[in-house]
């Protein structure tokens, strides 16, 4: 997290029409990779990496082509400014600051950590738990920076708090996992506990140097790194409980289990079609409610199975009106008619 200087006005009232266009473009760049990752069931951590890169590309373009319609500076409106943290019209900065960066080195340094630590952690947590840890790490970093610099008007930007949050969550849940990471001048597989120890040790060393005047001035928000790391460390185990990987499980076992689950999920049928509507007997009441919840939460094996079992108890075969049962084949659960599978098999 860095702290660049800010010269222009910071309030919404001075925005002009082209500025709102850039806000829409930045917002689209930030969320479209995340939506695509969720829709295509691909890595959300790599979606975040792409999101950060796209946003910084627009930010960089605005800095190159400054003036006229390009006069909008995202740092003015979206960076974290502790002195404004209690004003409701600036609450968005707690989140938006995590998508703004000072320069290419800053953004590339953050996405390196997010990719190398985030991808294996996502395999452990699953996408939904991962994004929760990421956002909480970001908030923890920003809140720590506000708490230690409450009167500062210097804007702070960057996803470093979130990146350190991922490392803190990994350290809390699976410290013995070995992941590829550049450390001690070598890129190789290191245990997570060692990566966390070295990274936090460097933070403490740099803060000590600043405190005693040995390192000069810096634009790195070290307290935000600590805030993101320790908040994620504290909450990670409750979040991870019940996820794809048991806590403290060895990585090799988890990798095999993750691959098996992903293969099963790739074969699960689509929930988009509705055989009851096709048969002119749409579900109503409790059956319709369960079907809606199934579509909302049925992207994981266990939740799909649970909702299908409940739906089986609250519906009948749309073709013959017979009883509906759940059946599992090759790890995949589906509904079928009790009289004949040819009547009904869904999804």
Domain match, 167 and 240 both: yes
Those residues with Cβ within 8 angstroms of residue 292's Cβ, 6 or more apart along the chain or in another chain: none
Domain match, 211 and 310 both: no
Distance CA 270, CA 288 (A): 17
What is residue 251's predicted lDDT score, i.e. its pLDDT?
62
Domain match, 88 and 176 both: yes
What is the token pair recorded at 154? 């210097």
Report the residue count for the chain: 347
Q: Is 327 helix (H, G, I), strand (E, B) or coil?
A: strand
Distance CA 164, CA 133 (A): 10
Could you tell me the residue range of the domain that residue 28 belongs to? 12-255
- DSSP for residue 238: H
Domain match, 232 and 272 both: no
On whether the CB atoms of residues 247 and 175 are closer than 8 A, the answer is: no
Distance CA 200, CA 129 (A): 24
What's the burial of 75, exposed, middle or buried (CB within 10 Å: 0-12/13-18/19+)?
Answer: buried
pLDDT digits 0-9 by tens, 36-52: 998 888 899 999 999 99
Q: At which of 187, 221, 255 does a domain end?
A: 255
What is residue 212's predicted lDDT score, i.e. its pLDDT?
55
Domain match, 33 and 179 both: yes
Number of domains forming the structure of the chain: 2
Whether 6 maps to a domain, the answer reads: no
Domain match, 109 and 183 both: yes
Domain match, 296 and 227 both: no
Phi, psi angle pair for 81, to nearest 5°: -125, 105
Whether 5 maps to a domain, the answer reads: no
Domain match, 247 and 289 both: no
Domain match, 338 and 209 both: no
Whether the full predicted model's pTM is greater than 0.85, yes or no, is: no
Domain match, 96 and 233 both: yes
Domain match, 100 and 207 both: yes
What is residue 252's predicted lDDT score, i.e. its pLDDT?
57
Domain match, 307 and 242 both: no
Binned average pLDDT, 10 residues per bin, the chain of 347 residues: 43 73 93 91 92 95 79 88 88 93 91 94 92 96 92 90 96 92 84 93 77 53 89 95 82 62 82 86 88 86 86 87 86 86 84
On whether the CB atoms of residues 315 and 343 are closer than 8 A, the answer is: no
Whether 310 maps to a domain, the answer reads: yes
Residue recorded with tokens 């089986």: 312
What is residue 6's predicted lDDT score, i.e. its pLDDT?
42
Q: At which of 198, 222, 255 does a domain end?
A: 255
DSSP H/E element including 171: helix 160-173
What is residue 257's predicted lDDT score, i.e. its pLDDT?
65
């Amino acid at each position: 997290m860095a702290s660049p200087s800010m010269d222009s006005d910071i309030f919404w009232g001075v925005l002009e029409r082209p500025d709102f266009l850039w806000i829409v473009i930045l917002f689209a760049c930030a969320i479209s990779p995340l939506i695509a990752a969720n829709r295509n069931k691909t890595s959300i951590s790599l979606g975040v990496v792409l999101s950060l890169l796209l946003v910084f590309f627009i930010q960089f373009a605005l800095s190159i082509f400054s003036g006229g319609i390009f006069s909008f500076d995202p740092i003015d409106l979206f960076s974290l400014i502790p002195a404004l943290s209690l004003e409701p019209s600036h609450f968005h900065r707690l989140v938006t600051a995590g998508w703004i960066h000072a320069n290419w080195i800053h953004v590339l340094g953050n996405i390196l950590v997010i990719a190398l630590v985030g991808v294996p952690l996502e395999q452990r947590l699953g996408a939904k738990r991962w994004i929760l840890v990421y956002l909480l790490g970001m908030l923890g970093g920003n809140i720590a920076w506000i708490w230690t610099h409450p009167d500062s008007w210097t804007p702070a930007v960057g996803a470093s708090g979130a990146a350190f949050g991922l490392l803190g969550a990994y350290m809390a849940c699976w410290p013995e996992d070995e992941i590829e990471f550049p450390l001690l001048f070598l890129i190789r597989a290191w245990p997570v506990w060692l990566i966390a120890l070295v990274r936090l040790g460097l933070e403490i060393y740099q803060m000590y140097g600043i405190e005693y005047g040995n390192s000069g001035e810096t634009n790195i928000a070290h307290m935000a790194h600590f805030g993101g790391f320790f908040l994620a460390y504290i909450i990670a185990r409750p979040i991870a409980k019940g996820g794809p990987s048991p806590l403290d499980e060895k990585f090799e076992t988890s990798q095999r289990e993750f691959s098996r689950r992903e293969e099963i999920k790739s074969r699960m049928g689509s929930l988009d079609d509705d055989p009851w509507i096709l048969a002119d007997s749409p579900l109503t009441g409790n059956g319709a409610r369960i079907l809606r919840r199934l579509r909302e939460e049925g992207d994981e094996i266990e939740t799909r199975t649970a909702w299908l079992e409940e739906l089986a108890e609250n519906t009948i075969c749309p073709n013959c009106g017979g009883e509906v049962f759940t059946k599992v084949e090759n790890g995949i659960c589906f509904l079928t008619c009790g009289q004949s599978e040819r009547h009904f098999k869904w999804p």
